[in-house]
Amino acid sequence: MPVNTSYSQNQLRDYSTLFSRSEALSWMKLDFKSINSKIKRYDEQWGKSKKATYFDYLRHIYNVLEKHYQNEYIFKNSFLNEWLIKEIGQYNSKVFSEFRVGNAVADLVMFNGNSKVFEIKTDLDTENRLALQIENYKKAFNQIYLLIPESKLSIYKKYEKEIGLITFNSNQKNKFTVYRTAINNTLVDASTIMHVLHTHEYKAIVQSYYGYLPKMTSFNQFQICSEFIRKMPNEELNKYFINIMKKRDLKNVLSSHNYKEFNQLSLALKLNKTERNKMIQILKSPLNS
């Protein structure tokens, strides 16, 4: 199908809104208004096709964005496809997207033998909040990595040597390269960890480490468990935190081969295999159906 090879920034920005949580939730309800409006606005030739599906069109848009507009979704999805999925397959790992830690929300985090956080800074981002984000991440994660465009390396390599740097170059076959490996740190902050954990998780840590649960009520359980967890040796708390996070009921149904354009959406929406397959089948509906 003939495609436009010249795109304005406004058009690319408009295209990028298709890969969002709200859009995916609309698709699941068979609501394709936003996709149809993009086709009418920019790609009328797609609307005339009798064979094309919504999946075909979204894959086309993804390829356009990948070549011309490296926004956070494309950046994050590429990293999942070309890096993290390999680690998930090799280790007993758990990956989370948009993970809240203190006053920051991490783009991606991974728990396997240790805890890692990946903060993405695209060409469209600034470093305005980065110092605050790093300060929060240090309290919960063993390794901190910044994912940055290769062209911005001079800006970000000034950060302390403990922070790992992974550069991105869309013109290379292997897009991601480790410029600097993160230095491992196991000094986590008990208060920060407590606010990450769910109630049953922090109670499970206390029960497992001390061999019993102290008397508590629903009103004081957070305070009592906080006191017990603060008394744990830091390395032990770090291990328990990693192990409990790996037990969270979240199945990473990601694939580097099948429908890889939607991996980040699947992760963000916490879709299980059945839900992901349902979304893909819905997207295989004919355009304008």
pLDDT along the chain (289 residues), means of 10: 72 96 94 95 90 95 92 90 73 86 94 94 89 96 95 93 92 84 94 97 98 95 98 97 89 75 90 91 88
DSSP single-letter state for residue 181:
P
Helix axes 21-28, 33-42, angle to 10 degrees: 110
**What pLDDT is recorded for position 236?**
97
**What pLDDT is recorded for position 254?**
74
**What pLDDT is recorded for position 2?**
47
Residues 6+ apart with CB under 8 A from 265: 19, 21, 24, 271
**What pLDDT is recorded for position 278?**
94
Residues 127 and 274: their CA atoms lie apart, in Å, by 39
Q: Where are the domains of the chain?
A: 9-72+255-283, 94-180, 190-246
Query: pTM for this structure?
Result: 0.89
Amino acid at 67: K
**What pLDDT is recorded for position 175?**
84
CA neighbor of 245 nearest in space, from 285, 188, 166: 188
What value does the CA radius of gyration of the chain take, rounded to a whole number of Å? 21
CATH topology of domain 94-180: Trna Endonuclease; Chain: A, domain 1 (3.40.1350)
**What pLDDT is recorded for position 205?**
98
**What pLDDT is recorded for position 252?**
66
